[in-house]
Structure formats: C-alpha cells, structure tokens
Amino acid sequence: MAFDIEMIKEVYARYPERIAAARKAVGRPLTLTEKILYSHLSEGTPSQAYERGKSYVDFKPDRVAMQDATAQMALLQFMQAGRDQVAVPSTVHCDHLIQAEVGAEKDLNKAKDKNREVYDFLASVSNKYGIGFWKPGAGIIHQVVLENYAFPGGMMIGTDSHTPNAGGLGMVAIGVGGADACDVMAGLPWELKFPKLIGVKLTGKMSGWTSAKDVILKVAGILTVKGGTGAIVEYFGEGARSLSATGKGTICNMGAEIGATTSIFGYDEKSAAYLQGTGRADIAELANGIAAHLTGDDEVYANPEQYFDQVIEINLSELEPHVNGPFTPDLAWPISKFAAAVKENGWPAKLEVGLIGSCTNSSYEDISRAASLAQQAVDKKLVAKSEYTITPGSEQVRYTVDRDGFLDTFGKMGGVVLANACGPCIGQWARHGAEKQEKNSIITSFNRNFAKRADGNPNTHAFVASPEIVTALAIAGDLTFNPLTDTLVNEEGKSVKLDEPKGLELPTKGFAVEDAGYQAPAEDGSKVDVIVSPTSERLQLLESFPAWEGTDLKGLKLLIKAKGKCTTDHISMAGPWLRFRGHLDNISNNMLIGAVNAFNDSTNKVKNQLTGEYGEVPATQRHYKQHGIGTVVVGDENYGEGSSREHAAMEPRFLGVRAILVKSFARIHETNLKKQGMLALTFANAADYDKVLEDDSIDILGLESFAPGKSLQVVLHHADGSSDTIEVNHTYNEGQIEWFKAGSALNLIKAGL
C-alpha cells in the first residue's frame, strides 16, 4: 500500500553515476534540484547543461497522484490511450467532493450518497488499470502522499497545484493537468521547461508563536503571486534543517501561491525521523546510504549567489508570525502591523470564523500546537468568540489526535471537527448566511484566499495564517488582537494572556489508525468493467477534439476581455461546480463566469456580436459555436493563476474558443492549454492589450509556418472599419506544435498506439 521499495532502490541506484555525469556536463557543483532533475531525465545521463527557463526537457517521474475532482477527467482521457495498466505507480484520492456543513460523520455519509456514481467510477477505473484507490474519508491527497508515498530524491507529478507538499520530504513534486498525468500513466515522458532556481537561505531557529507557515507567508510577500513562476524554490541552511518534515511540507505546499513550479528541502535528520515515524524506516536507511546526493553540494550553499538565479535570506530567530490577505495570498502583514492595517483599510475587525487544517496545515504538529491554545482557553475560562472548525489531513492524523485527546480539547472550546477532506479550503463549505453577501472576515490556515473561494461571498475578507494564530484570533474574535502582546478578559472578568503554543512534531505513542481507507487494485483488471452511465449528469465519456484545419484562423470574435486577476477559479469555479468535473459539457456552463469584463466591469456579462445583446459568457460562446464561429479570450497578467484544474483549458476548447491571448500566463495553465490543442499566446507589447475593442473580429496569421521562437500576427478588425496588426509571442516547441496540429496531445498518443 504505502510504497514500492524496489522502485526506490532503482532510483537511488542510478544517483551516483547520473550526478557525476551531471557535474561533468555543467562543469560546476550542483543544487539539490539539479541532482534530482538530472537523475530523472527520460534518456539516460545528461549530455548538456540545459538553459534555465528556456530548454524543454523530458523527464521520467516515479509516481502519479490524482485527487477525485481532477482524476475524473484525467482517467476519462487515460481510457482513450489504449493501455491495459498504468505505466508508473499511481493513486486516486477522494478528498475534494466532500462538502463541509455540520460535522465529519454526517458530512461524509452525505457525500458518499451524493457522489456515489463518481466514487464508483473512480473505484472501478482504478481497479481496472492498476491504480491505488483511497476512499472518501481517507484524507487529503497531499497529507496522504506525505505519509505514504513521498521519498527523498523522488519525482512525482500530481493533478493538483499543491502537489509540491511532498517537497517537505525532499521530493520534486509538481502540480500538472490531467493530460500530463495521462501521458505519464501511458508510459510517455513528461515535458517541462527546465526551471530557474530560487534559493532561500534560512538561518537561526524559530521559537514561540512563529511557525513554518510564517516562512512561506513571508516569502509570498517578497516574491508575490507570480514571483516564482518558471522556478523551483530550494530551501537550505541551518534554519531549514531545524524545521520538522511536516513544517517543510507546509512551506512547499503554499509555494504554489507564488507560482513556483515546486519547492524542495534537502534530506536531513528531521526527514529520517518522519520516515521512521510513519513506518518507513527502510526508506530512511536507503536514503542514509546516499545522503550526500539528497542535498545540494556544500559549495552551492556556501556561495548560493553563484548557483541560484535569485537568493533570499530569512532569519528564523527574527521572523514574526504573519497574516496574509485579504483576497490574495501575497499581501503579507507581520502580526505587529496587522491590527493597524485592519483599521486603516476598514476591514471588518470582528472575526466570524477561524478554520484550521487543510492540506497545508493538518499535521500532528499543527494540531497539537493549536490544541495547546484551545486547552489554555478552557483552563483560563475563555470562551471562543468566533466559530472554529478543524479539518484533519488524513484518517491516520485524525485517529491519532483523537486518541491523544486533542479533538476533545477542541470540542470543549466549541470547535467542530470536519471530515478528512478539502472542505472550506476549496469552497466545499455550506456556510450558512453566505448567500446574504454581507461584509465579514474569516481567517484560515489554508493556502488561498481569493474572493468568493471559500464561501461564494465576494464580501468575505479571508486571511491566511498559521493554525496557532488562527486559533488565538478565534478565541479573541477580533482581528486586531495580537496574542504576543495583548490580553483577553475571561468569564470571571479577569485579564489573561495566552502563553506560547507548544506541540510535538511526532506523537510520542506513534501514529495509529484502524482503517486508513486504502483499496488495492485487481491483479488482473481485464475483466473489470468501468462504471459510467450513458444518462449520467456527472460523467461523460470523451470524444476527440478536432484537428487544426491547416490554415490561418480568420473571422474570430472576441468573447471576453478579462480585466485584472483571472485565476482558474474565475475561469472554472469549484464549489458547487465540482459535481460536474467528470462531465465536460455540463461543467462548461461555468466557463469564465467569474472573469471581470473590461468593457463593463461586470462578471458573466458579455456582448454577443451576432445579436448585439449582452448575455452570460457560456451561453454567448455556445451561440457562436452553433454558428460555426471561433472566438478569442483576452486576459491580463498571470492568467490562469491558482489550481491545476485542466477544466479551465478544456471548457473553452470544447465550446469553440480558439486562442487565449494574454499579457502573461501562469505555468500550469499555459501547459494545459497547449495539451488541449489551444493557442496560448502573449502580447509582444503588453500595451497592445488596450487596442482590443469589444466589437473586434480577429485574425491569427502565421500558423501555416508555425515554428518555435517565431512570432505570429493578430489583426484586430474594429467595428468602425479600422484595424490594428499586433505581434504576439508563444512558447511552443516542435512537439507542442504537433499537439496543436493534431487537435490535442491525447490525439497524438492515440495515433501512436
């Protein structure tokens, strides 16, 4: 169930030779990131030094992990690939479709009933193709992976943007779309532009209220939501070695919020302790045997500016707890300045709900430190002024913290334990009263806080902090409370102060669980039937997208010109729409309904050039499709930021959008668009965004000679008869151009088989 020790032995066996060859190829010492990447090249030892940020390279990952919302589309695609079994170890985790409402048991039972056909499909397709299946209630994909599958020096791809969580155990773990996962499961290499490298040197040691979460909250403030785009972030230094493995996982997890390809820590004593504590002492023993290869070379860390493209240094001894937000995870406030920011900006100071847990912060250490504050509230006769919820990361963590009394402690404080699932973090939260859209504040230990993400209310000011700070503020019920300096008045009218939180990295009695929730696949899946009803509203077998016509694209209409932040949540919302993640036609009814139209500052209201009327984005696009007219979507900076969901690429492709033209793309979304046969284009001159007008018809020229590094031309035909011709760029290599010509990457796979 947990891991394939023989596969790990094979990975480690090739490390000495490949790393030696890599050092020779590049002519210098290597970072940890480079060691792992070079050791996972799909074609043997490196023969060249790849140019960071420019060279496309093929890799051979060791594992694939999928969560239930994205696994549906990934596996529907894999079913078309013609293989009897997956080519690499793969797992499915049922964590996204469980809605938080009243409590763990009732919510889980309701989800099992409501999502039965989806779970039956995922279980049956996993059973047939040799995929491990983690049942609903088993836990959140990233926590389960960290406990069972992550190993130092490995490479994994996962169909969720927070896959980098496994970097806490020294694994290059990268979030991808389902089409990428399909390729790897089909036995093909996985392609990635060789990343730039950002080094983060951690000195000193944390104490008191500061936690690992505060490291990434600080880094997010430095780099912003796109500062890590195209780069892998490698943490090192004495401060890095002082952090627990799960604390490192927290930092790597939320590295997705700076746009990083992934984040990673080297193997050390804390890594070994976690492996041993989770029943993987044999992996720790293997890793100890090649420990020098599972961290960067000494020369690199002694002179990091010579080997990284950018270096950041943070002294953990001086790091304050942070609160980030609202509405974006990179608006970083040290706790000493947060109260003033709340007052100056007019954010609601009254805290309605505090939520801890999620894939980012649900380890034993997180829960135990938060529980120490909850116990103080009980002992010091403090009544929590805010609602308070706890989301365990896995059944193993939940069972263990329950055994050790922490859940009872939270209950005494008024806390509600939710199911081992994503829940409110991804909008799977039936928050009562959210429909009133009242201005309010919540604080979470999650990773994202985009507008409307948690509860659908655009006026919910969501802030992100560590579980300790969330718990303290929930007790106070006031965002302006600073637990490091301020006091609270208890039920007896006395002023009391919260002491520093305390916890344990690992349980002293060890982890325990009765049923972890794992289901092994059939040894021979040839007789297993995949369950998909032809009348289902939630599942739909896929049909191939059409190939390119072989000509330039002319007479396209502008569908929408998106203004400002346009994340994958804006392009394909989660929440109630998760139920359609396996039905491309139905989920396409949410396409771009959250994007702000630059011409009227409204969402889901665009002009239909055929009728002159304004309507919803999906309906307008369907009208164009009925008339055989393709369209273009225009966007701003970092378009497609956020989740790895490829639905944000598949929906426009399915409905007839031909190109996405933006100032810049988030990495995963750009790749997803390419995989689905879309044109992902960027303005050569960002100011040309302003030339796009509401009634434009658009030509895309130069496709008949489409080639790597060669720009295309876009002609904007305006309603007054004038036109503008602008230059647009792309990052397609030769193989990706073939995806476009074939209509999708999957079409090429099928043709090859």
**CATH code at position 689:** 3.20.19.10
CA angle 295, 299, 301 (to 5 degrees): 60
**Which of 43-47, 178-182, 346-350 is most confident?**
346-350
pLDDT above 70 covers a percentage of the chain that reads 99
Weakest mean pLDDT among 2-11, 366-375, 401-410: 2-11
645 is catalytic: yes
Closest CA to 357 of 286, 298, 292, 407: 407
For residue 544, being part of any structural domain is answered with no
Catalytic residue among 160, 366, 455, 696: 160
Q: How many of the other CB atoms lie within 10 Å of CB of 84? A: 10
SS (H, E, C) 664-689: CECHHHHHHHHHCCCEEEEECCHHHH
The answer to whether the Cα torsion of 424, 386, 414, 368 is positive or negative is: positive
Burial class (CB in 10 A: 0-12, 13-18, 19+), 549: exposed
Residue 7's SS3 state is helix
Domain assignment present for 224: yes
Instruction: Tell me which residue has tokens 């829940």.
Output: 423
Q: Which among 367-376, 520-529, 644-653 has the top mean pLDDT? A: 367-376
Q: Answer positive or negative: Cα dihedral of 379, 380, 383, 386.
A: negative
Residues 395 and 309 in one domain: no
Stretch 727-741: mean pLDDT, rounded? 96
CATH number assigned to the domain comprising residue 480: 3.30.499.10
- pLDDT of 319 higher than 50: yes
Q: Which among 244, 358, 372, 643 is annotated as catalytic?
A: 643
Distance CA 30, CA 28 (A): 6
- Mean pLDDT value across the chain: 95
160 is catalytic: yes
CA pair distance 228, 233, nearest whole angstrom: 7
Cα separation, 471 vs 368, whole angstroms: 12
Residues 308 and 329 in one domain: no
Mean pLDDT along residues 428-452: 94
| Domain-located, residue 738 | yes
Give pLDDT, residue 753.
63
pLDDT at 370: 98
Point out the catalytic residue in the list 40, 645, 653, 730.
645
Catalytic residue among 18, 40, 93, 95: 95
Structural domain span for residue 429 = 320-494
DSSP state, residue 397: H
Average pLDDT over residues 339-359: 97
Q: Which residue has the higher pLDDT, 677 or 43?
A: 677
Q: Are 266 and 372 contained in the same domain? A: no
Rounded mean pLDDT, 179-197: 92
Are both 452 and 590 inside the same structural domain?
Answer: no
Residues 6+ apart with CB under 8 A from 465: 213, 217, 321, 322, 323, 324, 443, 444, 445, 473
Q: Are residues 105 and 221 in the same domain?
A: yes
pLDDT value of residue 280: 97
> Is 196:443 a contact under the CB 8 Å cutoff?
no
Task: Read off the DSSP letter of residue 132.
Answer: E
Domain boundary residue, one of 425, 459, 494: 494
**Beta strands 190-193 and 518-519: pairing type?**
unpaired
Helix ranges restricted to H, 576-635: 584-587, 617-626
Residue ending a domain, choose from 449, 477, 494: 494
Query: 2-11, 359-368, 483-492 — which is least confidently predicted?
Result: 2-11
Residue 530 lies in a domain: no
Mean pLDDT value of segment 206-210? 96
How far from 210 is each of 12, 243, 323, 370, 435, CA to CA, in Å?
36, 12, 11, 12, 35
**Amino acid 44: pLDDT:** 65
Is 431 noted as a catalytic residue in this protein?
Answer: no
pLDDT tens track for 621-640: 999 999 999 999 999 999 99
* 490, amino acid identity: N
The structural domain count of the chain equals: 3
Pairing of strands 196-203, 231-236: parallel
Phi then psi for residue 120, to 5 deg, are -65, -40
Tell me the C-alpha to C-alpha distance, in Å, between residue 555 and each of 609, 658, 660, 727: 12, 11, 15, 18
The answer to whether residues 267 and 350 belong to one domain is: no
CA dihedral 331, 332, 333, 335 (to 10 degrees): 140
Tell me, yes or no, whether 736 lies in a domain: yes
Encoded amino acid at 330, one letter: D
Mean pLDDT, range 82-106, rounded to an integer: 94
Residues 607 and 701 in one domain: yes
Residue 179 parent element (H or E): helix 178-185
- The sign of the torsion formed by the CA atoms of 691, 694, 696, 697 equals positive
pLDDT score recorded for residue 1:
46
Per residue, the 3-state secondary structure of 707-727, as one string, reads CCCCCEEEEEECCCCCEEEEE
Q: Cβ contacts of residue 6 below 8 Å, gap of 6+? A: none
> Does the residue 218 lie in any domain?
yes
Residue 302 within any structural domain of the chain: yes
* Residue 19 counted as domain residue: yes
Q: Which of 40, 93, 96, 579 is catalytic?
A: 96
Helix, strand, coil percent values for the chain (each to nearest 5): 35, 20, 40
Q: What mean pLDDT comes out for the span 489-517? A: 97
Q: What is the pLDDT of residue 434?
A: 92
Asked if residue 364 and residue 277 are part of one domain, the reply reads no
| Residues 89 and 225 placed together within one structural domain of the fold | yes
Domain final residue pick, 295, 313, 331: 313
Mean pLDDT of the region 674-684: 97
Q: Find all residues with CB under 8 Å of 412, minimum gap 6, and list them.
A: 374, 378
Active site residue 96: yes
Based on the number of CB atoms within 10 Å of its own CB, is 513 exposed (0-12), middle (13-18) or buried (19 or more)?
middle
Looking at the structure, tell me whether residues 444 and 592 fall in a common domain. Answer: no
- Among 93, 448, 461, 538, the active-site one is 448
Beta bridge partners of 681: 661
Which range (63-67, 234-238, 665-669) has the least confidence? 665-669
C-alpha span between 329 and 4 (Å, rounded):
36
| Residues 614 and 736 placed together within one structural domain of the fold | yes
Peptide bond into 326 cis (omega under 30): yes
- Note whether 294 and 420 are same-domain residues: no
Higher-confidence residue of 1 and 333: namely 333
